[in-house]
């Protein structure tokens, strides 16, 4: 499982994520992906993962906690606040539009779950009809190095992975 001191770019070596986009943007970009190293190298990143787009806690608490605190993160020198979910980039795009959060947060799809699995943050949520997904978590990462990480005990929990907790750790 992801821990403080982990180099996230080494843990996810060779992996890429898919930036949220429309189908037409996918076609025009030739379905491009963004290497994990490009996301983290030389930057201060806040990243949080969640079980799925359009789900309750994710939509009503997790994403809004970061959207509402974006100015505080920027004031602390954070280059980007990123949300990642085991969904395709098109679903993530529609969801982020619905939440009105795309101006504040960068959304990425981990369509096959390889990224969260490489970090030991995968979770089988078949019992909730979601299949393989991500745990609910957050991290502060400097130049690929994990400085703080928070993982909820259960996917429905929202106690340690919100913006307020992470702001206090930066």
Question: What value does the mean pLDDT of the chain take?
Answer: 91
Q: Within 29-153, where are the H helices?
A: 36-40, 56-57, 63-67, 70-75, 89-99, 114-118
Q: Report how far apart, in Å, the C-alpha atoms of 141 and of each of 11, 13, 60, 146, 159 are.
A: 13, 16, 25, 4, 20
Q: Which CATH number covers residue 156?
A: 3.40.30.10
- Whether residue 152 is contained in a domain is answered as yes
Percent pLDDT > 90 in the chain is 72
- Whether residue 2 is contained in a domain is answered as no
| Tokens encoding 137 | 């978590």
- Whether residue 3 is contained in a domain is answered as no
Query: Which residues are catalytic, by number?
Result: 58
Task: Answer yes or no: pTM beyond 0.85.
Answer: yes
How many Cβ atoms sit within 10 Å of the Cβ of residue 94?
15
| Predicted confidence band of residue 73 (pLDDT cuts 50, 70, 90) | very high
Cα–chain center distance at 80 = 11
| Predicted confidence band of residue 56 (pLDDT cuts 50, 70, 90) | confident
- What's the number of domains the chain is made of? 1
Is the pLDDT assigned to residue 133 strictly greater than 80? no
Domain range holding 119?
8-169
- Whether residue 1 is contained in a domain is answered as no
Is the pLDDT assigned to residue 160 strictly greater than 90? yes
CA distance 88 to 110: 7
């Amino acid at each position: 499982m992801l821990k403080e001191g982990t180099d996230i770019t080494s843990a996810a070596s060779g992996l890429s994520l898919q930036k949220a986009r429309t189908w037409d943007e996918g076609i025009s970009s030739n379905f491009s992906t963004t290497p994990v190293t490009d996301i983290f190298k030389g930057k201060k990143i806040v990243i949080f993962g969640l079980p799925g787009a359009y789900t309750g806690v994710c939509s009503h608490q997790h994403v809004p906690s970061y959207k509402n605190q974006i100015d505080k993160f920027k004031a602390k020198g954070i280059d980007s606040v990123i949300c990642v979910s085991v969904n395709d980039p098109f679903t993530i795009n529609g969801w982020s539009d619905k939440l009105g959060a795309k101006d504040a947060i960068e959304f990425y799809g981990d369509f096959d779950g390889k990224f969260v699995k490489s970090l030991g943050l995968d979770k089988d949520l078949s019992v909730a009809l979601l299949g393989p997904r991500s745990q609910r978590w957050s991290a502060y990462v400097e130049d690929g190095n994990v400085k703080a990480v928070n993982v909820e005990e259960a996917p429905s929990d929202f106690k340690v992975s919100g913006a307020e907790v992470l702001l206090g750790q930066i």
